[in-house]
Amino acid sequence: MQPRRLNPDFREKIWGATKLSPWFPDSGSKIGEVWFDAGLPLLVKFIFTSEKLSVQVHPDDDYALRHHGSRGKTEMWHILAAEPGARIAAGFRKPLTRQELREAARTGAIEQLLEWHEARPGDTFFIPAGTVHAIGAGLALLEIQQNSDVTYRLYDYGRPRELHLDPACQVSRLGPHPARRDPASEILLACPHFVARRFEVQGGLNFSWRPPGFVIAVSGEGEIGGNSIKTGEVLLYSGENQTISARGDVTLVCASAA
């Protein structure tokens, strides 16, 4: 079955950026997220930041279903570009109690309690549901996630947006989290919700994977199974397991449900 080329959905955010190239044309407004939503259990986003995002957490499937009639949200980030000193946070430097978490969120001390990681192009971070996390400024990244938009904010740097301390403190994991994945692995991430693999095509490459799912061009351009693809484009494949022939000079991330 021929793939379907998905259209990007550009979403303005107060922390977004105007420089979106080379993935998309630069924008006159601050674009924070570019969604590729095919109605599957997975959602693909490109994220661009000029300011810090809120400190936040997502519920797991059970909690989200009971309280929102929704899936939970486990996600991963694959760093595409990073300004010097750009960082992400995931989990805490040491274990906390729920009362300590609530008080730190109220005062802003939570930012110092988080475990911050330098983010470099090619890095991958795993953020399972329940992991308190934050994305810093100066980043472009690919996010692959469960198709859910349930987010609880713990701290927002004084911006006038709603916080969600009660549910956030209920669902948060209260200790350290090993977020960074092995940068040398072809498999960026395999978890109970999805699998993401990275392929470097230089000239030609045949690879097998399991649709339905996404083929995402994160750099370069080429051809996959006779279909052109270039930086920032996403193809949706459905049907049976298949081997795909790729040509050109292009880096691909393929993501499908586990």
153 is catalytic: yes
Q: Which residues pair with 36 in a beta bridge?
A: 44
Cα–Cα separations (whole angstroms), residue 149 to 39, 55, 212: 13, 15, 21
For the beta sheet containing 114-118, the strands, ordered from the edge strand earlier in sequence to the opposite edge, are 114-118, 87-92, 133-135, 55-57, 152-155
- In the set 71, 102, 153, 181, the catalytic residue is 153
Active site residues: 153
